Amino acid sequence: MREAGQIALTPFPYTDLSGSKLRPVLLLQEAPGGRGDWLVCMVSSRLHQAVEHFDELVFPEDDDFVATGLKAPSVFRLSRLAVLHAGLMLGSIGCVGKGRLGRARERIAHWITWGESSL
């Protein structure tokens, strides 16, 4: 069973839909309607791609790093969102703490509501 805060492996689509890459994603929220769709954001180990004061970084010294199942410092790319069916997820590797999930959701909501200039 899936739940918000899990990190799962799934084919994540490129923004131009030319293909996809198997990568970890953070499950942010199940979509309404009971169809098994999830709003997710991609996870990357390329820390230089992080948008300062927006994306969420996780490091080995963080309290929830071990629980994430990630192998290296990583960035939750909060502007790289997709809605994917749970059946596409190949398995869960871990989860984030409630505080980190809450911050990610708040940043996305603020971005959608107020736009980039307010970040």
Looking at residue 81, which CATH number applies to its domain?
2.30.30.110
pLDDT of 116 higher than 90:
no
Give the chain's domain count: 1
pLDDT of 100 higher than 70:
yes
Alpha carbon distance 119, 114 (integer Å): 8
Alpha carbon distance 116, 119 (integer Å): 5
Q: Half-sphere exposure of residue 98, counting CA atoms within 13 Å on the CB side?
A: 0
- Domain contains 14: yes
- Domain contains 19: yes
- Domain contains 15: yes
Range of the domain at 85: 6-118
Determine the Cα angle at 7 with ends 6 and 12, to 5°: 130
Tally Cβ neighbours within 10 Å of residue 62: 15
pTM recorded for the entire structure: 0.91
- Domain contains 1: no
pLDDT of 34 higher than 90:
no
Residue 118 has a pLDDT of 59
Residue 119 has a pLDDT of 61
- Domain contains 33: yes
Listed in sequence order, the residues at least 6 apart from 116 whose beta carbon sits closer than 8 Å to its beta carbon are: none
